[in-house]
Homo-oligomer: A and B are copies of this chain.
Amino acid sequence: MTIRDVARASGVHVSTVSRTFSAPHLVNAETRARVLAVAEELGYRPNRAARALTTGRTHNIGLIVADIANPFFPPLIKAAQSSARERDYHLFVADTDEDPAVEEELVLAFSKQVDGVILCSPRLSNKALDKLAERVPFVLVNRRLRGVATVLMDVAQGARSAVEHLAALGHRRVALVSGPAGSWTSGEIKQAAAEVPGVELVVIGPNAPTEQAGIRAAAAVAEAGVTGVLAYNDLVAIGLIEGLAERGVSVPEDVSVVGIDDIVPGRLNRPKLTTVAMPTADAGRLAVELLIQSVTASTTLETKLVVRESTAPPKGLT
Q: A residues within 8 Å of B by Cβ?
A: 43, 45-50, 52-53, 58, 60, 67-69, 71, 73-75, 77-78, 81-82, 85, 90-95, 97, 108-113, 135, 211, 238, 242, 245, 264-265, 268-270
A239 nearest CB across to chain B (Å): 8
Residue from A49, A73, A109 whose CB has the most chain B CB atoms within 10 Å: A49
The 3 closest A-B pairs by CB, nearest first: A68-B78, A265-B265, A49-B49
Set of chain B residues within 8 Å of A268, measured between Cβ atoms: 211, 238, 242, 265, 268-269
A94 to B63 Cα, complex, angstroms = 12
Check B94 against A92 for contact (C-beta < 8 Å).
no
Contact A67:B78 (CB < 8 A) given known A48-B113, A49-B112, A269-B270: yes
Check A94 against B67 for contact (C-beta < 8 Å).
no
Check B53 against A81 for contact (C-beta < 8 Å).
no
Set of chain B residues within 8 Å of A81, measured between Cβ atoms: 68, 93-95
Set of chain B residues within 8 Å of A68, measured between Cβ atoms: 74, 77-78, 81
A232 to B315 Cα, complex, angstroms = 40
User: Chain B residue with minimal CB distance to A134?
Assistant: B43
A113 to B73 Cα, complex, angstroms = 25
A75 to B70 Cα, complex, angstroms = 9
Known: A43-B135, A69-B78. 14 other contacts (CB 8 A): A45-B108, A46-B112, A47-B113, A49-B49, A49-B52, A49-B58, A49-B113, A68-B81, A85-B94, A90-B110, A265-B265, A268-B268, A269-B270, A270-B270
A18 to B73 Cα, complex, angstroms = 38
Check A49 against B53 for contact (C-beta < 8 Å).
yes
A264 to B264 Cα, complex, angstroms = 9
A109 to B94 Cα, complex, angstroms = 20
Check B48 against A50 for contact (C-beta < 8 Å).
no
User: Chain B residue with minimal CB distance to A242?
Assistant: B270
A43 to B113 Cα, complex, angstroms = 15
A85 to B62 Cα, complex, angstroms = 14
Set of chain B residues within 8 Å of A77, measured between Cβ atoms: 68-69, 93
A112 to B68 Cα, complex, angstroms = 26
A90 nearest CB across to chain B (Å): 5
User: Chain B residue with minimal CB distance to A114?
Assistant: B90
Set of chain B residues within 8 Å of A109, measured between Cβ atoms: 45, 90
